[in-house]
């Protein structure tokens, strides 16, 4: 019997009440994958999509720690182990007050498809806690990370589940968590990625997500005979992904003019130089530092409480968080002449925005394709740890480029329409789905 999108979504919503981000992520995949399943009934027979929409397991735990005043604090930690059909669970850890089970399920679901697209043997997972690192001292962050890992260590391992960073979790937090894992288990293994170079980290990991999103943008532009050079780029966020995306735009001769945080955005009409981007990277290393301080340092404008989508641009890179670019923002971007969108963040565009980009037939890359460079490099960090060796920066830069080019090719293969327009959402979803579904098919009913 053919699968029907609205019946399938009713079923998903009924069994995951209130988890709106998760419904949104599943809907986006189901819309494009169901016609493929109906054309290939072998997947319907074994209920692959239903099984892929149900995590293998969800672990939720209390994280107790004492702040600098000696007051006891209680947070909730999670690990969603979504699907390990093609490799150990793999996906970041997010520390942000908005973290809840539904958000992590959406991220873990997306991650399964993204990791499949990289071509590397990694399953999908995601974790985090409703902990707010803003304004916390270094010692408080260390104690929180240690307490978090004191439970998480039971559920992870180099061949089981390999977390990485995400919002609120960078190299420093990974270091604290790795130290605690090693101390508890007495095992030095590649249990986390995004590690420091001294203890098993990979060159290019910090740069990989932002650079990868720009490589993917470049691939899309090349496909229609255009270049990044000379193009004005609007970037949101000011963390790891955003600053590296802006930097790579600059390397390619483009002009990045905005960055943002949860307080508002800055617009520098002269464009960012390397010096300005380096300043932002350093400034935002202090968790809680505001992007608004840029204006006192370099000039330009600060727009409190606003997102940057009203600034005229040729290309847009949303690199902050989910649902930060809505239907009306998309209309504004289109009105101002935006021709391409490459997502650095996970699900930053809502469904109305995506529909507007598709209707206007502009280039639109979903995060599961365009931000896969980060986890791709994490996959290479895992293989370097297993082989106990370090690859050179140049070697890894080429490897990242190849991962992004291959994902682009897969999207073109599965998402091209008769008139030559590429539906990158369809392409990414079908290519990501097929590999995981074929593995599940091989395992039988488990």
Binding positions for ligand NDP, rule: CB under 6 A: 165-168, 209, 237-242, 261-263, 319-321, 324, 344-346, 371, 374
Query: Judged by CB, which is closer to ligand NDP: 102, or 239?
Result: 239
Query: Judged by CB, which is closer to ligand NDP: 146, or 346?
Result: 346
Tell me if 146 sits within 8 A of 180, measured CB to CB: yes
In whole angstroms, how far apart are CA 400 and each of 80, 231, 274, 376? 27, 23, 22, 7
Query: Judged by CB, which is closer to ligand NDP: 37, or 345?
Result: 345
Q: Residue 234 forms beta bridges with which residues?
A: 258, 316
Smallest separation (angstroms) from ligand NDP to the CB of 126: 9
Across the beta sheet with 161-164, the strand order is: 57-66, 72-83, 124-129, 89-95, 161-164
Smallest separation (angstroms) from ligand NDP to the CB of 67: 20
Which of 105, 114, 126, 136 is the catalytic position? 126
Query: Judged by CB, which is closer to ligand NDP: 75, or 150?
Result: 75
Smallest separation (angstroms) from ligand NDP to the CB of 306: 11
In angstroms, rounded to a whole number, what is the distance separating the alpha carbons of residues 15 and 33?
20
Tell me if 28 sits within 8 A of 349, measured CB to CB: no
In angstroms, rounded to a whole number, what is the distance separating the alpha carbons of residues 61 and 79?
9
In angstroms, rounded to a whole number, what is the distance separating the alpha carbons of residues 444 and 259?
48
In angstroms, rounded to a whole number, what is the distance separating the alpha carbons of residues 258 and 243?
10
Closest residue to ligand NDP, judged by C-beta, is 239
Smallest separation (angstroms) from ligand NDP to the CB of 184: 25
Smallest separation (angstroms) from ligand NDP to the CB of 408: 17
Longest dimension (CA), the chain: 65
Query: Judged by CB, which is closer to ligand NDP: 3, or 123?
Result: 123
Which of 400, 380, 403 is closest to 190 using CA atoms? 380
Instruction: Note if 281 is an active site residue.
Output: no
Query: Judged by CB, which is closer to ligand NDP: 166, or 314?
Result: 166
Residue 130, judged by CB atoms within 10 A of its CB (0-12, 13-18, 19+), counts as: middle
Smallest separation (angstroms) from ligand NDP to the CB of 135: 11
Smallest separation (angstroms) from ligand NDP to the CB of 128: 10
Query: Judged by CB, which is closer to ligand NDP: 81, or 150?
Result: 81
Torsion angle (degrees, nearest 10) of CA 184, 186, 187, 190: 40
DSSP β-ladder status, 57-66 and 72-83? antiparallel
How many Cβ atoms from other residues are within 10 Å of residue 45's Cβ? Answer: 11
Residue 254, judged by CB atoms within 10 A of its CB (0-12, 13-18, 19+), counts as: buried
Tell me if 92 sits within 8 A of 165, measured CB to CB: yes
Residue for token pair 């490099």: 377
Backbone angles phi, psi at 161, to 5 degrees: -160, 125
Smallest separation (angstroms) from ligand NDP to the CB of 213: 9
Query: Judged by CB, which is closer to ligand NDP: 150, or 342?
Result: 342
In angstroms, rounded to a whole number, what is the distance separating the alpha carbons of residues 78 and 61?
6
Residues with active-site annotation: 126
């Amino acid at each position: 019997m053919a699968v029907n999108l609205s019946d399938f979504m009713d079923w998903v919503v009924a069994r995951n009440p209130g988890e709106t981000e998760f419904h949104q992520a599943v809907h986006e995949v189901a819309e494009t994958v169901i016609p493929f399943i109906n054309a290939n009934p072998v997947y319907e027979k074994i209920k692959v999509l239903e099984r892929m929409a149900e995590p293998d397991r969800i672990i939720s735990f209390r994280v107790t720690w004492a702040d600098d005043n000696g007051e006891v604090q209680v947070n909730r930690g999670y690990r969603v182990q979504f699907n390990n059909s093609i490799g150990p669970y793999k996906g970041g850890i997010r520390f942000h007050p908005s973290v809840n089970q539904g958000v992590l399920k959406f991220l873990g679901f997306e991650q399964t498809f993204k990791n499949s697209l990289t071509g590397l043997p990694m399953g999908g997972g995601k974790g985090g806690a409703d902990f707010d690192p803003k304004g916390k001292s270094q010692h408080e962050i260390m104690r929180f990370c240690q307490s978090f890992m004191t439970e998480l260590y039971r559920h992870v391992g180099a061949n089981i589940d390999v977390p990485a960073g995400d919002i609120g979790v960078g190299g420093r937090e990974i270091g604290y968590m790795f130290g605690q894992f090693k101390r508890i288990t007495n095992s030095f293994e590649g249990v986390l990625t995004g590690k420091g170079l001294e203890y098993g980290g990979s060159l290019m990991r910090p740069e990989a997500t932002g650079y990868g999103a720009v490589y993917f943008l470049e691939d899309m532009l090349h496909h229609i005979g255009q270049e990044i050079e000379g193009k004005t780029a609007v970037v949101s966020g000011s963390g790891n992904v955003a600053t590296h995306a802006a930097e790579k735009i600059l390397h390619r001769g483009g002009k990045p003019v905005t960055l943002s945080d949860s307080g508002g955005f800055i617009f520098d009409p002269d464009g960012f130089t390397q010096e300005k981007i380096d300043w932002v990277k350093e400034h935002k290393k202090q968790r809680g530092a505001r992007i608004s301080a840029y204006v006192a340092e370099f000039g330009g404008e600060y727009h409190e409480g606003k997102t940057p989508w009203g600034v005229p641009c040729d290309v847009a890179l949303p690199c902050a968080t989910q649902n930060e670019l809505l239907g009306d923002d998309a209309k504004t971007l289109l009105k101002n002449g935006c021709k391409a969108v490459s997502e650095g963040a996970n699900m930053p565009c809502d469904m109305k925005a995506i529909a507007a980009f598709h209707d206007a037939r502009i280039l639109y890359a979903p995060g599961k394709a365009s931000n896969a460079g980060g986890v791709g490099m994490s996959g290479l960090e895992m293989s370097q740890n297993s082989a106990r060796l370090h690859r050179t920066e140049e070697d890894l830069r080429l490897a990242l480029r190849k991962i992004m080019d291959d994902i682009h090719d897969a999207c073109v293969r599965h998402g091209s329409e008769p008139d030559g327009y590429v539906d990158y959402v369809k392409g990414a979803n079908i290519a990501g789905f097929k590999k995981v579904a074929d593995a599940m098919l091989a395992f039988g009913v488990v």
